[in-house]
């Protein structure tokens, strides 16, 4: 085992990198005193952690980078971990994607936007919310109470009259002067109070407006305000939330079981629990170091940083992390490990949620294991189908043909492994030749990198399956990869054509004449259908993107004064002809190379084309 001369390392802040014999970075850490930190790994008593000897057996050298302060070391550690993704540092894999609501008060007439990234752009963000569908339903209710605009204001102003949302009372039509800026801002203030959970303040303000209108004998206006109050009260009753002491808090719970750690965050906003988020991490370090790495990775992303982080136990680096988080947020952030009171109850609640999340994850894992075992048996696969890939081809009469590959690992989609392919060698509508090209472009590098699927699902019948079998045989992979073709269900009718039935999906195997069928409602069949549908969606979305860019490019080529540089700038900024046509001169003027006059000319030219 590698044993360094610790005297050669300085007693100063910095970052250390542990490398294997081939130069691969195994682990990156930071330290206030490098020599003292490294001595923990090589002391006679040992580090005290069971996992460390496994790591140290692979380490062949240690490199250090000295910094002036521990804070600089923290920032450098974060940068290097993102760059190299070492095996023994944590790698967050989220179980869901989350959304927030964005309102920019600097706009003339602010709008509510559902976004998936939180940026430090001066706007107000609310959330995070676990369900995009649920928050959109909430916003639909808010529009009934406070009718803010829905669409870009420039697009609405080009219309001859207010939109349908105005007709049904869910938009105040500021684009056509139906509401003053001051009155619109009062609507926005009401929305912000609702999203922050201050319903009582909103109701008190609306009751005052209702009483004022009634005293002035404006009974119709008073009735509208009364309806707003009822809608808010009904919404509050449905929420059934609990008060957790006020303020914005993220509460972190940990549950360790063997070599795995479940990390759960509870999101408390204005004293109300609004959501939960869970991660399953491989446990290779002690829990304080794992928690430090988790906080560093998670809050370096585009997420909302709250006033307080409630931790399951104290961290040595808590003050340093609090300073870094405060700079990220622009406001003071506190890291607490409470031992009494309401915050301790929250910490215990997060702990119980982590335990329950791990239990449910284990049940899902076992269910997926059973499902994949069923697939292996029914489809006669040569190996357990842990990694399944599905391919699809999309084109319109041979034009802009593309291929897609989607990947499921352990029965779940892994979107970072998805790939898209532009067909390069095939002219015209030839699905078989296009599929052969895509498969070869995927599998040849896979043989070299030893990264191959356990099973490939092809969207098509015996013809497409034959292409797959031929490519696999050509690459010498027969018996290594399971091959299956999925054909859409057929519509069956009786002799008179009165009774119509739809058959089950059919699955074709090499060398077998009759297709394999699963029982109705089978989870295994549903998984394969879901995989096929995802590949089709991914291919069609790519094809539509290319069509939109081609339409934009061809339309711009016909406009005088738009050369390759300006065309690329417009493509990069708008992405599609539809978005460009919807844009006004003010928005086009934001693109490099476009003055106000040139933007006006482009708007006029596109209007004439249309």
Question: What average pLDDT score do residues 141-169 get?
Answer: 83
- Tens of pLDDT, residue by residue over 248-299, are 899 999 998 877 889 999 888 877 787 788 888 877 667 888 898 889 888 8
Who wins on pLDDT, 447 or 225? 447
Packed helices 132-145 and 219-239: angle between N→C axes, nearest 10 degrees: 160
For residue 124, give the H/E element and its range: strand 124-129
Mean pLDDT is highest, among 4-8, 94-98, 327-331, 385-389, for 385-389
pLDDT recorded at residue 498? 56
Question: Which residue is listed with tokens 């590698």?
Answer: 2
| Nearest of 187, 257, 192 to residue 228 by alpha carbon | 187
Cα–Cα dist 144/525, whole Å: 42
Who wins on pLDDT, 282 or 536? 536
- Tens of pLDDT, residue by residue over 321-349, are 999 999 888 889 999 999 988 889 889 99
Structural domain spans, the chain: 6-84, 99-239, 249-360, 404-516, 558-609
Mean pLDDT is highest, among 138-142, 373-377, 397-401, for 373-377
At residue 554, does pLDDT exceed 60? no
- Tens of pLDDT, residue by residue over 126-154, are 877 766 776 777 788 788 778 898 888 87
Question: Which residue is listed with tokens 């059934």?
Answer: 240
| Nearest of 248, 264, 123, 262 to residue 198 by alpha carbon | 248
Averaged pLDDT score across all residues of the chain: 81
Who wins on pLDDT, 75 or 488? 75
Give the single-character DSSP code of 243. B
Bridge partners, residue 220, by sequence: none
**pLDDT band (50, 70, 90) for residue 457:** very high
**pLDDT band (50, 70, 90) for residue 546:** low
pLDDT recorded at residue 493? 60
The fold of the 249-360 domain, in CATH, is: Nucleotidyltransferase; domain 5 (3.30.420)
pLDDT recorded at residue 490? 59
CATH of domain 558-609: 1.10.150.20
Which contacts qualify for 22-25: CB closer than 8 Å, 24 or more apart?
A: 24/87, 25/84, 25/86
Q: Which two tokens stand for residue 36?
A: 């003292």
Question: What average pLDDT score do residues 80-95 get?
Answer: 76
The fold of the 6-84 domain, in CATH, is: GIY-YIG endonuclease (3.40.1440)
Who wins on pLDDT, 174 or 565? 174
- Is-same-fold flag (249-360; 558-609)? no
Who wins on pLDDT, 529 or 158? 529
Question: What average pLDDT score do residues 576-601 get?
Answer: 78
* 208-222, 390-404, 442-456: segment of lowest average pLDDT: 390-404
CATH of domain 404-516: 3.30.420
pLDDT recorded at residue 548? 60
Q: Which residues contact 357 (CB under 8 A, 6 or more apart)?
A: 255, 262, 264, 276, 278
At residue 382, does pLDDT exceed 50? yes
Which contacts qualify for 530-534: CB closer than 8 Å, 24 or more apart?
A: 531/388, 531/390, 531/406, 531/408, 531/457, 532/390, 532/392, 532/457, 532/459, 532/486, 534/390, 534/406, 534/413
- Tens of pLDDT, residue by residue over 201-224, are 777 877 887 888 888 888 887 887
- Answer whether 0.85 is exceeded by the pTM: no
At residue 231, does pLDDT exceed 70? no
At residue 366, does pLDDT exceed 70? yes
**pLDDT band (50, 70, 90) for residue 41:** confident
pLDDT recorded at residue 569? 80
**pLDDT band (50, 70, 90) for residue 238:** very low
- Tens of pLDDT, residue by residue over 16-36, are 998 888 888 988 888 888 988
| Nearest of 14, 15, 20, 16 to residue 2 by alpha carbon | 20
pLDDT recorded at residue 95? 46
Residue percentage of the chain with pLDDT more than 70: 85
Bridge partners, residue 277, by sequence: 265
For residue 272, give the H/E element and its range: strand 272-282
At residue 521, does pLDDT exceed 90? no
Question: Which residue is listed with tokens 């059973």?
Answer: 370
């Amino acid at each position: 085992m590698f044993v360094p001369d610790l005297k050669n390392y300085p007693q100063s802040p910095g970052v250390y990198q542990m490398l294997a014999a081939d130069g691969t970075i195994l682990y990156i850490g930071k330290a206030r005193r490098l020599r003292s930190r490294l001595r923990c790994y090589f002391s006679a008593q040992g580090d005290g952690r069971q996992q460390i000897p496994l790591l140290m057996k692979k380490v062949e050298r240690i490199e250090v980078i000295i910094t002036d302060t521990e804070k600089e070391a923290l920032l450098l550690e974060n940068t290097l971990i993102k760059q190299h993704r070492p095996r023994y540092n944590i790698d967050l894999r989220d179980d869901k994607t989350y959304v927030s609501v964005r309102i920019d008060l600097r706009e003339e007439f602010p709008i509510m936007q559902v976004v998936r990234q939180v940026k430090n752009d001066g706007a107000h963000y609310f959330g995070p919310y676990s369900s995009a569908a649920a928050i959109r339903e909430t916003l639909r209710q808010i529009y009934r109470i406070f009718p803010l605009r829905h669409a870009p204001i420039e697009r609405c102003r080009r219309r001859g009259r207010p939109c349908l949302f105005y007709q049904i009372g869910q938009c105040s039509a500021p684009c056509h002067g139906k509401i003053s800026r001051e009155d619109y801002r009062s609507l926005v203030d009401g929305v912000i109070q609702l999203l922050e959970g201050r319903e009582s303040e909103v109701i008190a303000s609306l009751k005052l407006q209702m009483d004022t209108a009634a005293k002035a004998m404006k009974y119709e206006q008073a009735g509208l305000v009364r309806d707003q109050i009822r809608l808010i009260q009904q919404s509050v009753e449905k929420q059934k939330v609990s008060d957790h002491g006020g303020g914005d808090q993220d509460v972190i719970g940990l549950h360790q079981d063997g070599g795995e750690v479940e990390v759960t965050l509870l999101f408390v906003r204005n004293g109300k629990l609004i959501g939960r988020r869970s991660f399953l991490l491989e446990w290779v370090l002690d829990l304080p170091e794992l928690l430090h790495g988790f906080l560093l990775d998670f809050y370096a992303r585009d997420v909302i940083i709250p006033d307080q982080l409630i931790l399951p136990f104290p961290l040595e680096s808590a003050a340093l992390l609090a300073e870094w988080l405060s700079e990220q947020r622009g406001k003071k952030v506190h890291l607490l490990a409470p031992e009494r009171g309401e915050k301790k109850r929250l910490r215990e609640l997060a702990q119980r949620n982590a335990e329950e999340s791990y239990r449910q994850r284990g049940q899902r894992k076992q269910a997926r294991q059973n499902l994949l075992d069923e697939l292996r048996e029914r489809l006669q696969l040569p190996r357990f189908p842990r990694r399944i890939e599905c391919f699809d081809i999309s084109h319109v009469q041979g034009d802009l043909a593309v291929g897609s590959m989607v990947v499921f690992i352990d029965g779940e989609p892994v979107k970072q492994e998805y790939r898209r392919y532009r067909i390069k060698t095939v002219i015209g509508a030839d699905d078989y030749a296009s599929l052969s090209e895509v498969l070869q472009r995927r599998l040849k590098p896979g043989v070299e990198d030893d990264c191959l699927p356990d099973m490939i699902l092809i969207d098509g019948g015996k013809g497409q399956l034959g292409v797959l079998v031929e490519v696999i045989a050509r690459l010498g992979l027969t018996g290594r990869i399971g091959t299956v073709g999925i054909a859409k269900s057929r519509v069956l009718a009786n002799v008179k054509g009165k009774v119509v039935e739809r058959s089950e999906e059919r699955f074709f195997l090499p060398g077998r004449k009759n297709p394999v069928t699963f029982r109705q409602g089978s989870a295994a069949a549903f998984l394969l259908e879901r995989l096929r549908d995802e590949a089709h969606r991914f291919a069609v979305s790519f094809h539509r993107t290319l069509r939109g860019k081609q339409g934009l490019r061809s339309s711009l080529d016909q406009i005088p004064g738009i050369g390759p540089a300006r065309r690329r700038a417009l493509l990069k900024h708008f992405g599609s002809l539809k978005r460009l046509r919807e844009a006004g001169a003010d928005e086009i003027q934001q693109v490099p190379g476009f003055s106000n006059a040139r933007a006006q000319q482009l708007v006029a030219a596109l209007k004439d084309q249309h």
